[in-house]
Amino acid sequence: MSWTAPMTAVAGAIFTAAQYNTYVRDNLAECAPAKASVVGSYFTTSDDNQVAERKVAQAIVDQHDSFNSSSYIDPNASPTGNSPIPGPSVTVQTGSVAFIVVGGRIGGNATGTDSVKMSWEVSGASSIAATDPWAAGLVKLGQYSFAYCNRGYLATNLNPGQNTFKAKYAASGGTGFASYRTIVVMPF
């Protein structure tokens, strides 16, 4: 259902049940209070005269893992002896826009002008590879440098639908490390 522009009332005209149902009942059913079903959610426009309920999603991976590829990958080792944990990742219903934040304790044992980065990719309705323009991380590392860092990015090129956002990692030299890794997605 979608919002219908209300009719113009005319003096002396009869307001029929069908008109009431279309211009009052059905339009009220398209308003945010009638659509609200999830505590902590918010509303955004999904099309002309339509609203969609959305909710912020967050995922966290506490484990300390490492990676050693200049291309964005999942962690491929764990200094703690555990199996490396990919992500974090969240799946949300989006329109064409979402605000994504990735971050954590990121660092590495690279030297000189090497960098260690945490970015994100999208799969599902959209297919977007992880890349530097929205990555968080460190550049010009010293031996075993670490920092708590994050980066937000407003993605405006999504295909509406179910989209999965997943953190990916890259190190331009040496080995990168990441722990307390977080991804937050606010879909619109």
Q: What are the pLDDT digits (tens) for 144-157?
A: 678 899 999 999 99
CATH code, 56-187: 2.60.120.760
Alpha carbons 145 and 12: distance in angstroms, whole number: 79
Domain residue extents for the chain:
56-187
Give pLDDT tens digits for 62-97: 999 999 999 999 999 998 889 999 999 999 999 999
Of residues 23 and 114, more confidently modeled? 23
DSSP assignment letter at 97: -
- Which structure tokens are listed for 16? 């029929």
Spatial separation of the C-alpha atoms in residues 182 and 184, rounded to whole Å: 7
Average confidence score pLDDT of the chain: 91
